Amino acid sequence: MEETGQCLTCGSPVKEGTLVCPQCGAQLVGPVPSVTADKFLQAADKLQRVGKSMQDAGRSLTCGCLSLVVLAILIFVLASVIRS
């Protein structure tokens, strides 16, 4: 089975190494990269790892913001107690 890529202009399948899309005639920038299941799975795995990292960073940011809010409330309460 011959590997194929995709034309960026019309989306038609294009054989690997083709320089002009046979469907729409668009000149392809370079040889068409093949899209294989392995490449797709590798990209999906990278995306999943990036998503996990972003999720962890979001949790850290939430905890940091929550700490600042609690600190601000404590300062407000202490300032109120000192004034009275």
Residue 35 class from Cβ within 10 Å (0-12 exposed, 13-18 middle, 19+ buried)? middle
Instruction: Identify the H or E element spanning 5.
Output: strand 4-6
In this prediction, residue 1 carries a pLDDT of 42
Domain total for the chain?
Answer: 1
CA dist 45 to 13, 40, 65, 79, Å? 24, 9, 30, 51
Query: What is the per-residue pLDDT across 11-56, written as a single tens digit (0 to 9) for each?
Result: 888 887 788 889 999 988 765 556 666 777 888 889 898 888 888 8
In this prediction, residue 57 carries a pLDDT of 82
Q: What is the mean pLDDT of residues 69-75?
A: 89
Domain that holds residue 68: 4-83
The yes-or-no verdict on residue 61 having pLDDT over 60 is yes
